[in-house]
Structure 1
């Protein structure tokens, strides 16, 4: 086989494999979209109307989810920026031990500590609270987020830090005015991960939230299953799935370049 034919065969194999994988991953979403507009009388938006008026109203669940997501993303970014900056640019006693202890949280299956956290939040007066749920989600996101930010700050050349110091910037000023712009891809990656995790979180919300008026979208969508004598309303359920998936897809498409750069620009260096 000639080199040109070999390259052509390689490209065909590559595009065939990636196309098959794309179809495989997109099929569930496309099926949900098709099922969400299917009605006993054809196609329409009746399933979405049922979803909008379900329970306390989709607006309540959307507002709760947006609040939890905003607090989780903000808390994760603030703490991981400061923590990653400290681990990446400073030396202090116990630095490595503390960093390893932070990463060790990844080894603990989070469902196993939800009950102790439920009791702790009750003593703090944050039980059945969106703020309490957000604090728990921030804690779950911090190991990965701090790891990403620490390695990103370590990849910043020392000359840039020295230039900021010569211009009169202290440690915090250098972070806010200079370094944060250097690690924007990592910030976008951490923010995207925190958004996806908090927007779609079900198990922690199921344990920590008791009142239906404080349910998030995942809880409301699952609750739609048993709305009629325990039978599953699949069309309305699929409408809820599509409603939840659209913001995630849009945000990922908007941030995909920064997301890829966050991993490629030293964010995963050892």
Structure 2
């Protein structure tokens, strides 16, 4: 029997195309939804590169004819201490908030997941219950506490406020991440001599790293985009973060709005968020889904 006779070809009735109509419709719908979400971002970015006289025009016919211009970024740099200075303030606050939140929530999540102590469940519920308190209702007490500590109108005080607001959700995330780790791994590490912080740093932390990334990314984005606390707690213009700076730019003189500078500032604010999410999206998605299936 030849090789050609051994090959059994599939029947025409049982053959199906690799890409059916439903898959084509799915991809077309996905592209349309992506364009719907990307359209506002594209409008903002393109408007930031228009001349000031055309920056506020809608992206509809008749199309602006002023061409490519960096005047909006130049005016934004000339406002206050400069866009780079205020971006540095926001970056310092966001990175500080993310770092402290990750460290504290890592320790707290490990404690709630692995240790037994009196009123453990009650304390955990109380921590989660703080998420139901509106931030606006405790803004005045927080302002008085920072003033008593000498941290009012400082970026360090603003970081502490953001960490306080972010910790309940972060502790909840990290406890769930540690709950997904089999206890046999920890017991084997203890038999090998790893205890205490060494066990947490060298054995447990690499396993729950996706959860740490999710917590840090949430803390960074919330601190980067937060407006109300920075507006109330910061009175020195040189210490303004980018959201507060955008409000000052938008106010303008005599009620006028420099739409070009506003769009340029929004474009600058989007860059770190997009880069972080694109770089860490794999860990972010794994961290969010940790504990969903056991």
On whether the aligned pair clears a TM of 0.5, the verdict is yes
Aligned equivalent of 1:176: 201
Distance 1:184 1:254 in 2: 14
Aligned equivalent of 1:139: 164
Contact 1:36 1:238 in 2 (8 A): yes
- Which runs of structure 2 are paired with 1:72-221 in the superposition (5 Å)? 72-221=97-246
Q: Does 1:31 align with 2:43?
A: yes
Paired residues, number: 268
Superposed CA deviations along residues 147-166 of structure 1, whole A, max 9, x for unmatched, are 11001111111111011111
Distance 2:171 2:119 in 1: 16
Superposed CA deviations along residues 185-234 of structure 1, whole A, max 9, x for unmatched, are 00111111111111111111111111101100111112101223220100
Q: Structure 1: which 5+ runs fail to align?
A: none
Distance 1:188 1:32 in 2: 29
Q: Which is worse superposed, 228-237 or 77-86?
A: 228-237
Aligned equivalent of 2:7: none
Structure with the greater alpha carbon radius of gyration:
2
Distance 1:12 1:80 in 2: 44
Distance 1:3 1:14 in 2: 22
Contact 2:176 2:290 in 1 (8 A): no
Distance 2:136 2:150 in 1: 21
Contact 2:87 2:241 in 1 (8 A): yes
What's the secondary structure of 1:38's corresponding residue? Answer: coil
The alpha-carbon deviation at position 4 of structure 1 amounts to 5.0
Q: Does 1:67 align with 2:92?
A: yes
Selected match of 1:8 from 20, 27, 30: 20
Superposed CA deviations along residues 126-166 of structure 1, whole A, max 9, x for unmatched, are 11111111111011111111111001111111111011111
Distance 1:189 1:154 in 2: 16
Aligned equivalent of 1:261: 286
What's the secondary structure of 1:232's corresponding residue? Answer: coil
Pairwise CA RMSD:
1.9
Contact 2:48 2:264 in 1 (8 A): yes
Q: Structure 2: which 5+ runs fail to align?
A: 1-13, 54-65
Distance 1:169 1:255 in 2: 29
Contact 1:151 1:269 in 2 (8 A): no
Return structure 1 stretches of 4+ with deviation > 3 angstroms: 2-5
Higher-helix-fraction structure:
1
